[in-house]
Chains A and B, each alone.
Chain A
Amino acid sequence: MSAHGNTYVPKSRLAKWFESRLPIAGLVHSSFIAYPVPRNLNYFWTFGAILSAMLGVQIITGVWLAMHYEPSAAGAFNSVEHIMRDVNYGWLLRYAHANGASMFFVAVYVHIFRALYYGSYKAPREVLYILGVVIYLLMMATAFLGYTLPWGQMSFWGATVITNILAAIPVVGDTIQSLLWGGYSVGNPTVNRFFSLHYLLPWMIAGVVVLHVWALHVTGQNNPAGIPIKSGKDAVPFTPYATVKDVFATVAFMILFAWFIFFQPNYLGHADNYVPANPAVTPAHIVPEWYFLPFYAILRAVPDKLGGVILMFGAVMILALAPWLDTSRIRSCNYRPIYRQFFWVFFAVCIILGWLGAKPPEGGYVIAARVCTFYYFAHFLIVMPLVGLFETPKALPGSILESVTGPGKQVSGSGVPAGAAAAPSTKG
């Protein structure tokens, strides 16, 4: 936001008066109107906007659900049924919120794999990328806390399993567990404080999103060619080009979201969660929500409790090290013939881990989960550093414009002043 020239010129006297006291109109103008966007972005770059929309959906539906929800062990389950049956459009609010969480993760996984494929984590975007990992961690915590709130069987046992995972932490584990439970076991104080924390974390996500967008607007966007904007001809202004494209993609995504809400509202959930929490009976087949399955598979692949917990958290944390583990100077996999293949193997391994996480922990499934867990970490610790050293990348295009039009062609005109367009890459 500070990196490029402020081209906003207030017209009216009131606007001038206000701008000299709080230059927020200029900030919006330079961030979302004049902001130079690489002209070669594909639809994978619309998922940031989709994620912002989903955060909004979750916060709005969540605030409304909280008007009817009762955060207590005795009342939670019934209040959710009350929302479903008695509250006007309560079913819609709840189905939108529950499926919204899944859609949020669909979008974030596309966003993360896009960052990994196009090398968006590499210099100068390391901080931007790590803020993204922080958001992802906060999303996981929020989703887990939210899933416990209906206080069905899966809620209760999910809370039990996850808080027992934390107890595996040496020395302080039991204290952390007791502070989360607020008792000697998962019970009334637990659901009460989980509700409080579930309401808190989305605002923390919103705060880190502001930092994420700020960092993005300092370094400028990466793009499919992985090369910086060099002249005004490489870029188009955010409005209307990116605005319209983002809104179009968001609307398309909302159609998918609506399909789940209106036609398959319980497809991504578990029937067991419509059974009230019962501390004496564990559901026969306990699995987390689909978006946690790869990590659940890693947890179960390790025969040691603490070891499983370390690898599970390590699987997320290792994402944050990618900027330094990847030794290649080429960002985009489009120009990395070897690494590109490894990327797709890694992608497949993540999908397979997710599938294994839903399977019972026995026989061949455990062995497969161990192989995949090994490969997951090997991708970061062995493949990323080594391939970057030995691979001969393809020739990069001379400019973003060239990557769109082919070498040597001219395109007349550009909506972005050359100085403004060049700024993000030079400041980055």
Chain B
Amino acid sequence: MEFSTLANPSATPSTAGDASLHDGSRRDFLFLATGAGLAVGAGAVAWPLVASMAPDAAVIAAGAPIEVDLAPIQEGQIINVFWRGKLIFVRNRSEKEVKEADAVKMSELIDPQADSARVKKGHEKWLVVYGNCTHLGCVPIGHSGPYDGWFCPCHGSLYDTSGRVRRGPAPTNLPVPPYAFQSDTKIRIGEEGPKEGKAAA
């Protein structure tokens, strides 16, 4: 822009001689105090702006654990449930599917994890996993692909009957959400049971 037309270009503000008129320490103090005030103020303004974007109290409250009744789920069936807006697959695995998952050698896996570490002891036929591909979050299609698990239509990732990734680009297995069996036909998704600890890690 055109800055050359100052009202009076020759009237440049003078800074010469000030040091001799004032004690330097007072000016230094004002400089530092102003700078510190500015930094603290900027932080104090930025913090609430950023924090307000985090999940709010209503969203957190709506994220309480949910109960899922397993009784109506037929063998081989996969149902979709939502917890915290996230899709979760609950799969009633056939004996053959459990065996397949158990028999896999760890060395064959991209993200090695035993099937037993992904289910609850005594309830091996039930697989509970998040239903979004660990690549970019698409929903994989159940009962498809060469491993009988899931096939992701977006970028071609394959999962086995334990929800473990068998072919990329997905980097990790479908994670197991925190959940616990209330009874043989009921689970509670959202927190671990008191005794089971980190079975679902």
A and B associate: yes
Q: Which residues of A contact B (CB under 8 A)?
A: 1-2, 6, 20, 23, 26-27, 30, 157, 160-161, 163-165, 178-187, 189, 193, 214, 279-286, 300, 302-305, 308, 360-362
A282, B137: Cα distance in complex, Å: 9
Cβ of A282: which chain B residues have Cβ within 8 Å of it? 138-139, 152-154
Asked if B169 and A27 sit within 8 Å, CB to CB, the answer is no
- Give B51's nearest chain A residue, CB to CB: A179
Q: Which of B80, B132, B153 meets A160, CB within 8 Å?
A: B132
Cβ of B82: which chain A residues have Cβ within 8 Å of it? 279-280
Cβ of A157: which chain B residues have Cβ within 8 Å of it? 137-138
Asked if B137 and A189 sit within 8 Å, CB to CB, the answer is no
A170, B196: Cα distance in complex, Å: 31
Given contacts A179-B53, A182-B53, A182-B54, contact A6 B138 (CB under 8 A): no
28 A–B pairs (Cβ distance < 8 Å), ordered by A? A1-B2, A6-B2, A23-B5, A157-B138, A161-B137, A164-B136, A178-B54, A178-B55, A179-B50, A179-B53, A180-B53, A182-B54, A182-B55, A182-B56, A184-B55, A186-B85, A187-B85, A189-B59, A280-B82, A280-B131, A282-B139, A284-B153, A300-B155, A302-B169, A303-B168, A304-B168, A361-B154, A362-B156
Binary contact readout B81-107 vs A (1 if CB under 8 angstroms, 0 otherwise): 010111100000000000000000000
Given contacts A2-B3, A26-B2, A160-B138, contact A185 B86 (CB under 8 A): yes
Binary contact readout B132-168 vs A (1 if CB under 8 angstroms, 0 otherwise): 1001111100000000000011111000000000001
Given contacts A179-B50, A285-B153, A361-B156, contact A23 B169 (CB under 8 A): no
Q: Which of A214, A279, A308 meets B85, CB within 8 Å?
A: A279
- Give A366's nearest chain B residue, CB to CB: B156
Given contacts A279-B87, A282-B153, contact A27 B1 (CB under 8 A): yes
A184, B189: Cα distance in complex, Å: 15
Asked if A300 and B169 sit within 8 Å, CB to CB, the answer is yes
Asked if B84 and A361 sit within 8 Å, CB to CB, the answer is no
A163, B135: Cα distance in complex, Å: 11
A283, B156: Cα distance in complex, Å: 13
Asked if A1 and B1 sit within 8 Å, CB to CB, the answer is yes
A164, B157: Cα distance in complex, Å: 15
A165, B136: Cα distance in complex, Å: 6
B35 CB-CB contact with A under 8 Å: no
- Give A360's nearest chain B residue, CB to CB: B156
A380, B87: Cα distance in complex, Å: 42
B14 CB-CB contact with A under 8 Å: no
Cβ of B5: which chain A residues have Cβ within 8 Å of it? 20, 23
A161, B155: Cα distance in complex, Å: 11
A160, B133: Cα distance in complex, Å: 11
- Give B130's nearest chain A residue, CB to CB: A185
A128, B56: Cα distance in complex, Å: 41
Asked if A2 and B138 sit within 8 Å, CB to CB, the answer is no
Nearest Cβ on chain A to B66's Cβ, whole angstroms = 13
Nearest Cβ on chain B to A34's Cβ, whole angstroms = 13
Nearest Cβ on chain A to B90's Cβ, whole angstroms = 13
Asked if B138 and A286 sit within 8 Å, CB to CB, the answer is yes
Seed contacts A183-B59, A300-B169, A303-B169; 5 additional CB < 8 Å A-B pairs? A23-B2, A160-B132, A183-B84, A187-B59, A305-B135
A181, B137: Cα distance in complex, Å: 13
Nearest Cβ on chain A to B189's Cβ, whole angstroms = 13
Cβ of A181: which chain B residues have Cβ within 8 Å of it? 55
A163, B53: Cα distance in complex, Å: 15
Nearest Cβ on chain B to A303's Cβ, whole angstroms = 5
A282, B133: Cα distance in complex, Å: 11
A164, B86: Cα distance in complex, Å: 13
Cβ of B156: which chain A residues have Cβ within 8 Å of it? 360-362
A82, B80: Cα distance in complex, Å: 31
B63 CB-CB contact with A under 8 Å: yes
Nearest Cβ on chain B to A396's Cβ, whole angstroms = 33
A189, B170: Cα distance in complex, Å: 27
A30, B55: Cα distance in complex, Å: 51
Nearest Cβ on chain B to A346's Cβ, whole angstroms = 26
A308, B131: Cα distance in complex, Å: 22
Q: Which of B4, B63, B80, B86 meets A2, CB within 8 Å?
A: B4
Cβ of A165: which chain B residues have Cβ within 8 Å of it? 136
Cβ of A303: which chain B residues have Cβ within 8 Å of it? 168-169
Nearest Cβ on chain B to A424's Cβ, whole angstroms = 15
Cβ of A361: which chain B residues have Cβ within 8 Å of it? 154-156
Given contacts A2-B4, A160-B132, A304-B169, contact A183 B138 (CB under 8 A): no
Cβ of A163: which chain B residues have Cβ within 8 Å of it? 137
A361, B152: Cα distance in complex, Å: 11
Pairs A-B, 8 closest by C-beta atoms? A184-B84, A185-B85, A164-B137, A282-B138, A282-B139, A161-B136, A160-B137, A164-B136
Given contacts A2-B3, A27-B2, contact A185 B138 (CB under 8 A): no
- Give B172's nearest chain A residue, CB to CB: A305
A180, B171: Cα distance in complex, Å: 22
Asked if A281 and B56 sit within 8 Å, CB to CB, the answer is no
Asked if B85 and A183 sit within 8 Å, CB to CB, the answer is yes
Asked if A280 and B56 sit within 8 Å, CB to CB, the answer is no
Binary contact readout B2-45 vs A (1 if CB under 8 angstroms, 0 otherwise): 11110000000000000000000000000000000000000000
A214, B131: Cα distance in complex, Å: 51
Asked if B55 and A183 sit within 8 Å, CB to CB, the answer is yes
Q: Which of B55, B84, B132, B136 has the most CB of A within 10 A?
A: B136
Asked if A160 and B3 sit within 8 Å, CB to CB, the answer is no
Cβ of A6: which chain B residues have Cβ within 8 Å of it? 2
A282, B87: Cα distance in complex, Å: 11
- Give B84's nearest chain A residue, CB to CB: A184
Asked if A286 and B154 sit within 8 Å, CB to CB, the answer is yes
